[in-house]
Structure 1
């Protein structure tokens, strides 16, 4: 197995340490002048993706994780698949996922992340440090559950959503695709596609 990390900013570096003692073989990152990160060579930007299978690479990890980056995560994920690479799932040693949960390829679980009974996570979902996904939730592809967020039971979250650090989503709610929940928000009502909500209780931005 030969694995490339796509993106070596803050989140990418967290993943590099989370995967230890396994090491990435190379990094794709477009920052100028970046040659190595933690001793791993940077071999170019994401425009090199199409060449990697020919160089013997087999797997990839998305190393992009900031707020409002979910569409970028989705694009890079799809481009890597199209290039013939397979997504690698990363689970830190202190994270826990229920044996009855359904975890698609390419998901990431950072330290003390928890996924409970019968939760379903689609491809490329990021559950960040100490975030909790409770029982019977469904998290759409490419979404990011940020540090310390709590998704209560039976919540449905669409694709490419960002749930900010420390946010709480009340049980049974539905959040549409492309929505953004600000850090610390407490969501007590459904959220529409593409909507940004913030505050306690959470309200649409500029409401």
Structure 2
């Protein structure tokens, strides 16, 4: 199996890890727009269907065969950030084999940095000097203002706003419509609830909810579903 050629641009084969809503959304984006990737199929241990992959791959999928092919790239499409982290560690795919995808209707400033395996959705905004870690997702209409730092395995939900120079640590979930005032930090393994307005730093392992947001401690190892 070889990568296709479109003009002088090499089109890479893409395997989406995760067959949920986020995975199917990414498939549609890759197929609808010319982003340099050709959708090859889904890799999911719960949903294995015949003809999931083209070019002779059949379910159950041969992960080792996919990884051995240098023309195949991957992206994690798993909404739960804890599960995303666990799957990434379990698979052990080198970072240079992960695709970073930006929807053509998103705005990413030329000075911003995007980590491996990250995805920026339609109408999301990433302003100057911002650094995004690996396997982080910015969903529709989210805004990350100037010189913010978002670590790895973070989910920024639709219409959330980070007002500038905001720091988000690993494995944190920012809910839909949440606002984080400029200059603040949100610790790792935390949740900022939908519609919350954060006006002070959020410690690690916290659940921040309300307007203004109040912080509640989450036990280490406590799942997102249990917290919500």
TM range (shorter): 0.7 to 0.9
1:98 to partner: Cα distance: 0.5
Show the counterpart of 1:135.
146
Q: Secondary structure at the match of 1:43?
A: coil
Distance 1:149 1:126 in 2: 12
2:129 is equivalent to residue 118 of structure 1: yes
Moved over 2 A (4+): 20-23, 30-45, 48-52, 54-58, 75-85
1:102 to partner: Cα distance: 1.4
Distance 1:164 1:3 in 2: 28
Distance 1:50 1:82 in 2: 10
Gaps of 5+ in 1: none
Show the counterpart of 2:211.
200
1:53 to partner: Cα distance: 1.7
The Cα offsets for residues 123-155 of structure 1, whole Å up to 9 and x where unpaired, read as 111000110110010001110101110011001
Match of 1:59 among 52, 66, 73: 73
Show the counterpart of 1:43.
59
Question: How many pairs are equivalent?
Answer: 202
Deviates more, 1:192-201 or 1:77-86: 77-86
Show the counterpart of 1:91.
102
Q: Comparing both chains, which one has the higher relative contact order based on Cα–Cα distances under 8 Å and sequence gaps of 6 or more?
A: 1
Aligned 8 A contact 1:177 1:193 in 2: yes
Show the counterpart of 1:27.
42
Q: Which has the larger radius of gyration?
A: 2
Match of 1:189 among 200, 203, 208: 200
Query: For residues 35 and 84 of structure 1, do their structure 2 counterparts lie closer, same or farther at Cα, with a shift above 3 Å needed?
Result: farther
Q: Secondary structure at the match of 2:59?
A: strand
Q: Secondary structure at the match of 2:25?
A: helix
The Cα offsets for residues 77-133 of structure 1, whole Å up to 9 and x where unpaired, read as 334444787110111110011111111221101100110010011111100011011
Aligned 8 A contact 1:52 1:83 in 2: no
1:34 to partner: Cα distance: 4.4
Q: Secondary structure at the match of 2:31?
A: coil
**What RMSD, in angstroms, separates the aligned Cα atoms of the two structures?**
2.7
Q: Secondary structure at the match of 1:61?
A: strand
